[in-house]
Amino acid sequence: AQSVAQPEDQVNVAEGNPLTVKCTYSVSGNPYLFWYVQYPNRGLQFLLKYITGDNLVKGSYGFEAEFNKSQTSFHLKKPSALVSDSALYFCAVRGTTGNQFYFGTGTSLTVIP
């Protein structure tokens, strides 16, 4: 079965510290992996994606993510968190042998000033 898991419902980090939001996946074939961010009362916004190639992907607003095939993970990272990064983050996956998209349950990130 294809799925994506975000093991942490809530992540708190101090402003200026590095942040990590975790994501693991299970998919048929090679994965297409995405991170999206949702601010209150807004639609989701695309941050970055992994399709193929370099395992370290850089995206918007200083975010990056590392694809790890052996651990089936795609963790979102940022070297220095900002208060404005506080939002709900979703990992999503689509397998190359299917057309459905699967979203994680979301991780609420709070950056503490």
Partner 1 sequence: DSGVTQTPKHLITATGQRVTLRCSPRSGDLSVYWYQQSLDQGLQFLIQYYNGEERAKGNILERFSAQQFPDLHSELNLSSLELGDSALYFCASSLKTGYNEQFFGPGTRLTVL
Among 94, 107, 109, 111, binds partner 1 (CB under 8 A): 94
Q: Does residue number 63 form part of the binding site for partner 1 (CB under 8 A)?
A: no
Smallest distance, partner 1 to C-beta of residue 16, A: 29
SS3 (DSSP) at 85: helix
Spell out the SS3 assignment of 24-46: EEECCCCEEEEEEEECCCCCEEE
Which one of the spans 11-19, 63-71, 77-85, 102-110 is the region binding partner 1 (CB under 8 A)? 102-110
Q: Does residue number 89 form part of the binding site for partner 1 (CB under 8 A)?
A: no
Q: Write out the E strands in the chain.
A: 3-5, 10-14, 19-21, 24-26, 31-38, 44-50, 56-58, 64-68, 73-78, 87-95, 102-103, 107-112
Smallest distance, partner 1 to C-beta of residue 102, A: 7
Please give the residue ranges that form the binding site for partner 1 (CB under 8 A): 32, 34, 36, 42-46, 49, 51, 90, 94, 96, 98-106
